[in-house]
Structure 1
Amino acid sequence: MSSQAQGNERSGDNVPSLPARLLLVDDEPGLREAVQAYLEDSDFLVDVASNAREGWELLQQNLPDLVITDIMMPEVDGYQFLQQMREDPKFKALPVVFLTAKGMTTDRIQGYQAGCDAYLSKPFDPEELVAIVKNLLERRARVRTEGEDGAPDITALAGQIARIENMLKGKSGISPSPSPIKIDLTPREQSVLDLVAQGLMNKEIARRLETSVRNVEKYVSRLFTKTGTNSRTELVRYALEHGLTQ
C-alpha cells in the first residue's frame, strides 16, 4: 500500500479510501504529460485538461481533492479559473496550486490574493510539487477532522486572512507591511530567503550560490525555525508580509 493510501485510511475500520484525485490544467502538452506521469507514479489519480474550460467541465464530472493549474492560458487564464471556482460553493474550499512561469513577487501576491494555496514557478522540481500536494491534502484532512470533532479553528483562519490583507496594503496595493519583530538573518540566510521568494528550487539555489543542496536545505530549515513557518509557501508569505525580502 502506498504512503498516500495509508494516510487516507478511515479511523477505526482500517479500510483505505481511494487515492486522492487531482485535476491538472495546463496548455503545454509536454509539461502536462510529464507532470501527469510523475503524479500518477506518486499514487495519485490525475484528470487532465488543456485549458480552463475543459478543466471546469471535468470539475463538474469528477470532484477532485486538489487542482493544479497553469496561469498563462488562452481565453480563460488561471486567475479567472480560480475566481470561478471560489465563487461556486462546491469548489470554494478546494485546494489550488498555481504552476506558472511568472515568478515576480507581485505575480505571487496576485496569486495569493486570488485565493491560491501554493505557487510554484516553472521550471520546478516535481518532487517539490508532490510534497506541496501532500501537505495541502493532509491539511485539508485535518480541517475536515476538526469539523467532525468540533468547530474549526476560526481564529487561526482569521489570522491567515489578516496576514494576506496586510500584504496588500499600501499605495500600490502590494507593499509589504513592516515587521513588528526583529529577525536576525545571516547574509547567507538572507540570500537563500530572497531566492526562495523568487520561486527557485533548492537545486537552482545551490547552483546560484555555488554551494551544495544539503547546505541549502540546512538554511531553509533555519529559516523555517526563525520565522515559525512549516513550508516554503508559508515562508514566502511571512517574508512578504514582514518586508524580509523584496
Structure 2
Amino acid sequence: MSAQLLLVDDEPGLREAVQAYLEDEGFQVEVASNAEQGWELLQQKLPELVITDIMMPHVDGYEFLKQLREDPRFKALPVVFLTARGMTGDRIQGYQAGCDAYLSKPFDPDELVAIVKNLLDRRAAQSPETGETPDIASLAREIGEIKSLLTGRSAIAQTPPPIKVDLTPREQSVLDLVAQGLMNKEIAKTLETSVRNVEKYVSRLFSKTGTNSRTELVRYALEHGLTK
C-alpha cells in the first residue's frame, strides 16, 4: 500500500501540479487550501507525511507546524516546508520550528520526491516491522492497565455513545484485539499485516474516539459498547 501524504498550499495551480506529480510516483495525496482545512483532514486521514506552504492566510505554516508538534499524535510526523521563502535565515527558522525538510520554490519535483521517500524510509526504520513501539515500558504498563479494565469490566457502566463512531471493519478488528490486551506485534500476526499498519490503525482509533492512550481507548470502547 502506497504512503498517504497531506499537501497544504493556498496556490491552486501549484497544489494541483504537485498532487499530480506525487500521485504519478505512487503516493496517495490529500490536499488542503489552508491550514484549517489541513488540520481537519489530519483528523480523518492520519497521513504519513505532511507537505505545507509557509505563507498562507489566517494560519501560516509555522503556526500549523506548532499545532502539529503540540499534539502527541503528530509530534513525530515528518513535515516538509515547501515555500517561496528561500533565504538562509528562512531555512534556519524553519528547522528551528521543527520541520524535517525545507524546499524553496521554484523546485525540481524529483527533489521533492527524493525528500519524501527519504523521510518515509527514515520513519519506517525507526519503527521496525519486527519490533514493538519504541517505549516498551510504557506500552507494557498500558497493556497491564487494559487487562485490569477487562477484569473489572462489569463495573464499567455502559452508556449509549454520545456520537456515532464510524469505524471501518479493520479498525473494529484492531480495537477488539487492543481491548483483549494484545500488543501491536500480536495484533499484526493475528490480522496478517505489518506492525506499522497496526500502529496507523491504533492512531486512527485515538483520533476517532478522542483518546490519547490504549488504556483510555479501551475504557471508552467498553463504556460505549464499541467492543464486546
Same fold (TM over 0.5): yes
Aligned length: 135
Q: CA deviation at 1:57?
A: 0.2
Partners in 1 of 2:133 and 2:39 — Cα distance? 32
Task: Map 1:21-60; keep pairs closer than 5 Å.
Answer: 21-60=4-43
Structure 1: runs of 5 or more not aligned = 1-17, 153-246
Q: CA deviation at 1:136?
A: 0.2
Query: CA-to-partner distance for each residue in 1:181-232, whole Å, 9 max, x for gaps?
Result: xxxxxxxxxxxxxxxxxxxxxxxxxxxxxxxxxxxxxxxxxxxxxxxxxxxx
> More relative contact order in 1 or in 2 (CA 8 Å, sep 6+)?
2
Which residue is equivalent to 2:189? none
Partners in 2 of 1:144 and 1:150 — Cα distance? 7
Q: CA deviation at 1:150?
A: 8.5
Which residue is equivalent to 1:84? 67
Change (3 A) 1:104 1:134: same
Q: Does 1:131 align with 2:114?
A: yes
Partners in 1 of 2:130 and 2:58 — Cα distance? 38
Identity of aligned residues (%): 78
Partners in 2 of 1:97 and 1:113 — Cα distance? 13
Structure 2: runs of 5 or more not aligned = 136-228
Over alpha carbons, which structure has the higher Rg? 2
Q: Which amino acid aligns with 1:116?
A: C
Q: CA deviation at 1:146?
A: 8.4
Which one of 52, 58, 71 corresponds to residue 69 of structure 1?
52
Which residue is equivalent to 2:105? 122
The answer to whether the 8 Å contact 2:84/2:104 transfers is yes
**Does the residue aligned with 1:148 lie in a helix, a strand or coil?**
coil
Query: CA-to-partner distance for each residue in 1:66-114, whole Å, 9 max, x for gaps?
Result: 0000000000000000000000000000000000000111111110011
Partners in 2 of 1:149 and 1:56 — Cα distance? 28
Q: Does 1:20 align with 2:3?
A: yes
Q: CA deviation at 1:145?
A: 1.2
Task: Map 1:74-223; keep pairs closer than 5 Å.
Answer: 74-145=57-128, 148=131
Q: CA RMSD in A?
A: 1.6
Partners in 1 of 2:72 and 2:115 — Cα distance? 24
Change (3 A) 1:58 1:150: closer
Q: Which amino acid aligns with 2:102?
A: Y
The answer to whether the 8 Å contact 2:127/2:133 transfers is no
Change (3 A) 1:147 1:78: farther
Query: CA-to-partner distance for each residue in 1:35-85, whole Å, 9 max, x for gaps?
Result: 000000000000000000000000001100000000000000000000000
